[in-house]
């Protein structure tokens, strides 16, 4: 009830769509389990996934498909398009659709049994901390937790509040602080120097990380207070990931796991006889879907394909790379880890040019400016906010470094001395109060 109340409060009419998706996938799962033959199971799976995806395609991609058809037909001199429909993107549609589909796939693959109590399933699809921006959870993890009797637990509350506090800090102080500059520079890319656009792209990578991981941490914290353990979504993706494969193990983890389990693995099994060609095909299709999931625009298609290409390269050369690293004992060399981390990060930033740009033309201008017109670095209208955000970003990177290499040392929020813990809580609270941007109320990943 609370979850539906939360959703109704934001977008009342689309609560019906949420309910319809829940009902269709619930019934689909039930029919798949009850089917005696593989043929019927496949048929019910096909219909359930088809209907669910259709609603996602209509609400999220209608305009994009219409525009693409219109542009393609214009090439051959035909002017035709679908009727214009004014649609507001339903909040969290990509997240709850994937979550509900995960339940159907798990039943199909007999990883879980259907949930008899429709109420628990409704709660799973609409669970309010996760619904708008993930993490994309699994029924096998969440539904058993809903069924456990629980009371308010002090240590859960404390841990949950820590997650929330850190989430608000990264979101309000860093992400929103950097966001003003990034938006200003990406608004009119033609007017800015290459150095400025390069700097804005680097900052965008951190804005995205702090924004999305901030929201995820708040969602994890709220769930923890209520007594539920939700999957982590980020594990220091920038600079610490030593390959693109490693990057996707650390970045938006729940989406990566979803795509791996339900798209990549079935495809790679299907194409297993094709060797490397099959592997590359599976990776490319998976990342094409990942790109399109992020947004209804050609820029996101390119973003997905770029990552697919790099991942394919990684996958095909994995053995050679391992052999090379073993031969020269590179795996634990700090400079090699740093170098590969930097290379990975540079590629990620390159792909973010497409992620952030409003159009392919803008992305092209950004890249041309970066490579041919360095110019001077412009600091924009609010250099003070930018300066404070960069200073606090340094703090986040330090903590990421600690978590990566010394996870049990130099603890701050978890320190055994209360005075240190409390000082840290208060410092972060005061930093949020003093430096937080309370005027910006957008989360980047809400739009997906």
Partner 1 sequence: MNNYPETPMHSLKKLATILMLFLLFFFIADFLVAYFLGCGLKKYYGIENSAQILVNGASQVMLAVDKDLIERETGMRVAKYTREGVNISDRELMIHHFFSEKKSSAKIVVYGVDQFLFTDEGMSENSYTIFYPFMDNKEISDYIHTYTKEWYVYKIHQYIRCSRFDLYLVNSAIRGFLGDWSNKKKGEVNISSLKSNIANGSVRKINSKATNIATFQKTMQFLESKNITVVLLYIPYVDILENNDSKMQETKNIFKKYSSDHPAVRFIDLTYPASSEHSWYFDPNHLNPKGQKELTEIVISELKKISK
- Window 167-186: contact mask with partner 1 (x via CB under 8 A): ----------x---------
Among 9, 68, 72, 383, binds partner 1 (CB under 8 A): 383
Residues 139-158 close enough to bind partner 1 by CB under 8 A: 154
Using rule CB under 8 A, residue 2 touches partner 1: no
Using rule CB under 8 A, residue 88 touches partner 1: no
DSSP 243-306: SHHHHHHHSSHHHHHHHIIIIIHHHHHHTGGGTHHHHHHHHHHHHHHHHHHH-SSHHHHHHHHH
- CB-based contacts of 25-29 (< 8 A; 24+ apart in sequence): 25/52, 25/100, 25/101, 25/103, 25/104, 25/125, 26/114, 26/115, 26/118, 26/121, 28/52, 28/104, 29/103, 29/104, 29/107, 29/114, 29/115
The pair of three-digit structure tokens given for residue 50, joined into one six-digit string: 């088809």
Residue number, 88 or 434, with CB nearest to partner 1:
434
Q: Name the residue among 305, 282, 304, 302 with its Cα closest to residue 291.
A: 304
CB of 420 to partner 1, least distance (A): 12
Applying CB under 8 A, the span of 69-77, 103-111, 364-372, 420-428 interacting with partner 1 comes to 420-428
CB of 151 to partner 1, least distance (A): 10
Q: How far is CA 93 from CA 46, 143, 244, in A?
A: 20, 20, 27
Residue number, 298 or 425, with CB nearest to partner 1:
425
Applying CB under 8 A, the span of 30-38, 55-63, 352-360, 431-439 interacting with partner 1 comes to 431-439
Residues 303-342 close enough to bind partner 1 by CB under 8 A: none
Residue with tokens 């592997």: 279
Q: Do 14 and 90 contact (CB within 8 A), yes or no?
A: yes
CB of 393 to partner 1, least distance (A): 14
Show Cβ contacts of residue 48 under 8 Å, excluding neighbours closer than 6 positions. Answer: 24, 25, 27, 28, 29, 31, 32, 104
CB of 161 to partner 1, least distance (A): 11
> Cα 416 to chain center, whole Å?
33
Using rule CB under 8 A, residue 437 touches partner 1: yes
Applying CB under 8 A, the span of 107-115, 123-131, 293-301, 423-431 interacting with partner 1 comes to 423-431
Residue number, 200 or 435, with CB nearest to partner 1:
435
DSSP 193-218: -HHHHHHHHHHHHHHHHHHHHHHHHH
Using rule CB under 8 A, residue 384 touches partner 1: yes
Residue number, 74 or 383, with CB nearest to partner 1:
383
The pair of three-digit structure tokens given for residue 262, joined into one six-digit string: 């339900």
Applying CB under 8 A, the span of 105-113, 294-302, 303-311, 377-385 interacting with partner 1 comes to 377-385
Among 93, 108, 385, 396, binds partner 1 (CB under 8 A): 385
DSSP structure class, residue 384: H
For partner 1 (CB under 8 A), the number of binding residues is: 17
Distance CA 413, CA 340 (A): 31
Using rule CB under 8 A, residue 426 touches partner 1: yes
Residue number, 324 or 373, with CB nearest to partner 1:
373
Q: Do 127 and 7 contact (CB within 8 A), yes or no?
A: no
Residue number, 101 or 165, with CB nearest to partner 1:
165
CB of 423 to partner 1, least distance (A): 8
Using rule CB under 8 A, residue 54 touches partner 1: no
DSSP structure class, residue 87: -
Show Cβ contacts of residue 300 under 8 Å, excluding neighbours closer than 6 positions. Answer: 291, 292, 294, 354, 355
- Window 388-407: contact mask with partner 1 (x via CB under 8 A): x-------------------
CB of 169 to partner 1, least distance (A): 14
Q: Which residues bind partner 1 (CB under 8 A)?
A: 154, 177, 383-385, 388, 422, 425-427, 429-430, 433-437
């Amino acid at each position: 009830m609370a979850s539906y109340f939360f959703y109704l409060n934001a977008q009342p009419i689309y609560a019906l769509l949420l309910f319809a998706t829940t009902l269709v996938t619930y019934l689909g799962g039930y029919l798949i389990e009850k089917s005696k033959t593989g043929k019927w199971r496949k048929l019910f799976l096909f219909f359930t996934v088809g209907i669910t995806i259709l609603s996602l395609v209509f609400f999220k991609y209608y305009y994009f498909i219409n525009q693409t058809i219109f542009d393609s037909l214009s090439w051959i001199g035909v002017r035709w398009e679908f009727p214009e429909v004014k649609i507001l993107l339903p909040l969290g549609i990509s997240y709850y659709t994937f979550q509900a589909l995960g339940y159907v796939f798990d039943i199909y693959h007999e990883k879980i049994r259907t949930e008899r109590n429709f109420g628990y399933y409704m709660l799973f699809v609409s669970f309010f901390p996760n619904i708008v921006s993930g993490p994309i959870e699994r029924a096998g993890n969440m539904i058993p937790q809903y069924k456990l009797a629980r009371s308010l637990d002090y240590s859960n509350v404390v841990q949950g509040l820590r997650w929330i506090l850190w989430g608000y800090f990264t979101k309000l102080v860093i992400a929103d602080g950097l966001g003003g500059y990034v938006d200003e520079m990406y608004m009119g890319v033609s007017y800015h120097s290459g150095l400025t656009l390069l700097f804005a792209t680097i900052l965008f990578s951190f804005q995205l990380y702090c924004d999305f991981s901030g929201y995820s941490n708040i969602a994890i914290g709220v769930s923890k207070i209520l007594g539920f353990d939700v999957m982590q979504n980020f594990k220091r993706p920038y600079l610490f990931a030593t390959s693109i494969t490693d990057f996707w193990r650390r970045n938006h983890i729940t989406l990566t796991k979803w795509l791996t389990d339900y798209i990549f693995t079935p495809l790679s099994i299907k194409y297993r006889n094709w060797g490397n060609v099959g592997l590359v095909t599976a990776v490319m299709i998976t990342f094409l879907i990942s790109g399109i999931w992020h947004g209804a625009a050609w820029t996101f298609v390119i973003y997905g394909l770029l990552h697919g290409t790099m991942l394919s390269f990684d996958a095909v050369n994995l053995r050679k790379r391992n052999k090379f690293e073993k031969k020269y004992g590179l795996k634990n060399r700090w400079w090699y880890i740093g170098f590969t981390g930097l290379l990975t990060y540079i590629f990620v930033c390159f792909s973010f040019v497409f992620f952030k740009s409003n159009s392919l033309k803008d992305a092209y201008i950004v890249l041309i400016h970066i490579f041919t017109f360095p110019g001077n670095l412009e600091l924009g209208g609010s250099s003070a906010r930018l300066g404070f955000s960069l200073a606090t970003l340094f703090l986040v990177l330090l903590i990421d470094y600690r978590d990566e290499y010394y996870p049990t040392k130099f603890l701050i929020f978890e320190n055994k001395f209360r005075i240190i813990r409390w000082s840290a809580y208060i410092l972060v609270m005061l930093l949020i109060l003093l430096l937080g941007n309370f005027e910006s109320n957008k989360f980047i990943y809400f739009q997906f």
